[in-house]
Structure 1
Amino acid sequence: MRRRLLVLVAATTTLVLVAFLVPLALLVNDVAADRAVQAATVEAQALTSVVATAEGDPLALTVAQVDATSRFDVTVFLPDGERLGAEADRSPLVELAERGSSASAEADGGREIVFAVDGPDSTSVGVIRTFVPDAELRQGVARAWLALAGLGVALLLVGLVVADRLGRRLVRGATDLAAVSHRLGRGELDARADPSAPGELGVTATALNGLAGRITDLLREERETIADLSHRVRTPLTTLRMDAEALPAGEQSERIVASVDAVDRAVTDVIQQARRRGTGPEGVTADAADVVRERAAFWAVLAEDTDRELTVDVAPGPLPVALARGDLEACVDALLGNVFAHTPNGTGFTVRLEPRDRGGARLVVADEGQGLPSGQTTGVLRRGVSGSGSSGLGLDIVRRTAEQSGGGVRLDSPPSGGLTVVVDLGTGPEA
C-alpha cells in the first residue's frame, strides 16, 4: 500500500511538473531570444542617424567603434557597394533592405536583422545589418532550465516525502488492525486497536474494539451460566452418589458409582474448558492408546449386555495427540455412543487405533448397521444435523475435537452396509 501510494504520487507530481515546467522552459527560451534581438535592434537603430547624415571617414570610424564595443556583428552597406564594420556577405535580406524594407530572419548560426536607412530626399543611403549569434539568443537559458529542473526535482522529493509519511501512517494503522485481529483470534481478548488512526481506519478500529468488548461480555456470561449450571448439577449428583453408595455392594452398585463419577468428571471438564476458552490448550497432550483402550473397556460392558460383538485393536502406546484427556474421552464416547444409539441390539462393531506416519493416531470405528443414506456422509458432520432424528451433536463433537488436534474426520458408508468413521488425531495445528 505504501509503495503504491508513492508510485501514484510520483506519477501525478511528474505529470503536473511536466505540464507546468515544459511551457515555462519554452517561454524562458523565447524571452531570452527576444531580449537579445531587442538589444541588437536598439544598437542598430542608434546608427540610423549617423548613417543618414555622416559620410566618409567619420562614418567609417563610428561604425568601427560600434562594432568593436557591441556584443553583435554590425555591418553597414552603402549604396556605392562599400561595406563598413564587421565582415559580412550581401545576403538576400540585405538586398531586400536596399529596396527600402527592414526585416529579420533566421540565418546560419543565429539571426540576421537589417534596417533600411533613408536620406533627406527619401532615397536609400545605406543598410544597417546586425547579426545575433545563437549563443546570445540562448544566453541564460541553460541556467534557467537547470534551475527549473532543480525546482521540479525538489517539488517531486517534497511530494514523495509527504506521501511517504502519509503512507507510513496509513500502513501502520492497517498493520496495527491486523495485529490486533490476530491477537483476538489467538484468544487475547484484552487486545485493542488504536481508534486515533486516520480516516476509515479509526472507524474500523473503534468497531473492532466494540466487537472485542462484546465477545468478552458474551464469554463472561457463558462462563457464569456454566458455573451456575454446574452448581445446580452437582447437588443432584451428590445425592445420586450417596444413593448409589447406599446400595448393597455388588457389580451393579459399582457400575452406578462409576457412572456418577464419569458424569462428575464430564461436568468438571466442561467447566475447565469454559474457563480456558480463548487461551487455547497449548502444550496439552494425551495418550490416545491409553484413552481408547480405557473407553473401549468401559463400553464393552454395555456391548455385552446388548449382545454386540466388540472387536478392539489398539496399537501399543504411547500415541500422543494434541488434546486434553477429557476432550479425547468425550470424542471416543461420542463415537461409541452413536453406535449404541443408532444401531439395533446385536450389531457388532470394531474399534481400531493405529499410529499415523506424520505423528498422532488414527481412530477407526466401524459398525455393521444400516449405515447412512446416500449423500449424507458429509452433511451429518455439521452441528445439529442428524440422519436419524437425534440432536446431531455427537459427530460435531468428534469433528471439532479432530480439527482442534490438527486432524480431521471422514465417513464411509459402503454399499454392503454399515458405517465407518475415520478420525485423524494430530499432534498440533500444523499436523
Structure 2
Amino acid sequence: MRRRLINSTLAVVLVVIAVFGVSLVVVETRTISSSAQESVESEALRLASIVDSRLVGGEPVNPDIIAEQTDTRRYAEIRIPGRDPIEIGTRPSGSVIRASAEGEQDTTVTVEESRSAVTREVGRSLLIIGAVALVAVVAAVLLAVRQANRLASPLTDLAETAERLGSGDPRPRHRRYGVPELDRVADVLDASAERIARMLTAERRLAADASHQLRTPLTALSMRLEEITLTDEPETVKEEASIALAQVERLTDVVQRLLTNSRDPRTGSAVAFDLDEVVKQQLEEWRPAYRSSGRAIVHSGRRGMRAVGTPGAVAQVLAALIENSLMHGGGTVAVRTRVTGNQAVVEVTDEGPGVPAELGARIFERTISGRNSTGIGLAVARDLAEADGGRLELLQQHPPVFALFLSRVAREHREEKPTVR
C-alpha cells in the first residue's frame, strides 16, 4: 500500500509538471523570441532616427560616429541615397533576427542579430524550469512518503489490533491517528475489544461460580450414593435414593440459576416459600460434614416464616454461609431466624476467630479470602441474594455474624428452643 500511495502521488505530480511545464516552455520561448524581435526593431528605428537627425543637421555619417552614438553590439546596415552602404558590427552567420526601418531622408536601416542569443536565453529558461520541476518532484516524493507512512502505519497497527483480538487478547489499545476514518475504525475495534473482554470475564466467572457452587452438592450426592452401595435394606436404599434425587434437582436448579445470573444478574424468579423448609434442608445436607469434623449446628429463632425469593438461590446462599463457617470458623455454628420490620432474617454465626479487620469491608469481593480458598463463595452468595431483591451483609466481625435479609410474607409463627443437629 505504501508503494502504491507513493507511485500514485508521484504520477499525479509528474502529469501536472508535464502539462504545465510544456505550456510554460512554449510560452517562455515565444515570449523570448518576441522580445528579441521587438528589441531588434526598436534598434533599427533608433538608428534611422539618428541618421536622419545627422543628415538634416549636415553632420557627417560614418560607422565610427554611429557606433559611438548607438553603442550597439548588433550588426547594422545603413543605406543613404547616393552613398555607399555603411555597416556597423560584424554580420552574423546562420539564422538571424532581422528588422528594417526607413527614415525621413529616404534612408534604410537594417539591423540583424544572431538567433543563437535567443536560443541561449531559451536554454537558460528551460534550465530554470527544469530545476523547479526537479524540486517539485523531490518535494512530491517526500510528501508522498510522509503521507504513505501516515496512512500505512495506522492501518498496520489496526491490523495488529485485530489480530490480537482474534488471538484472545481483548485489551483495547486506545490509539488514535488524527485521521477521522482511521480513528473511527479504532473506536470500533476498541469497543469490540471491551465487549469481548466482558464476555470472556463473564465466561470465566460462570465457570468459576459453577465449579464452586457445584462442588458441595456433588460431594453430598456422592456420599448418598456411597451409602446406597453399602446397604442392602430396601427402605434405606429408597430413602437415600429419594434424598439423592432431591439433591439432583437442587443441582439442576443451581446450574439454571448460574446460567440465568450470567445472562442478567438482576433477573430473579422470586416466589413466596417456606423458609423453614430451606433451612431444614440445608441443615440435613451439611450434617455429615459437621459430624465428621466433630462440630455441631444449632437452629433457633422464629419458625413458620414465609419469605419472598427463589428457594434454590436462598439455599445456595445459606450453603455458602454454612460452608464458610465450616472452613474458616470454629465451635458451634448457629443458624437463627428472626424478623425485623417487614423482612425475614437468617443469621449464621460461629465461635471462630471471626473476620480480620482488614477484610471486613471487602469480604464480599471476589478473590478476597482470609485463607487459601477461592474467595468466590460469599461473592456469589451476595449476587444470588441481590438477584431476588434481598441482601447479604456482615453484621459483626468478632464473632462473625452473616445475615441474609429477605422480604417477608406475614404468617403465624412460634418460638422454638435451639435444636442441635
What is the TM-score of this pair, normalised by structure 2? 0.48
What is the TM-score of this pair, normalised by structure 1? 0.47
Higher-RCO chain (CA-CA 8 Å, sequence separation at least 6): 2
Rg larger for: 2
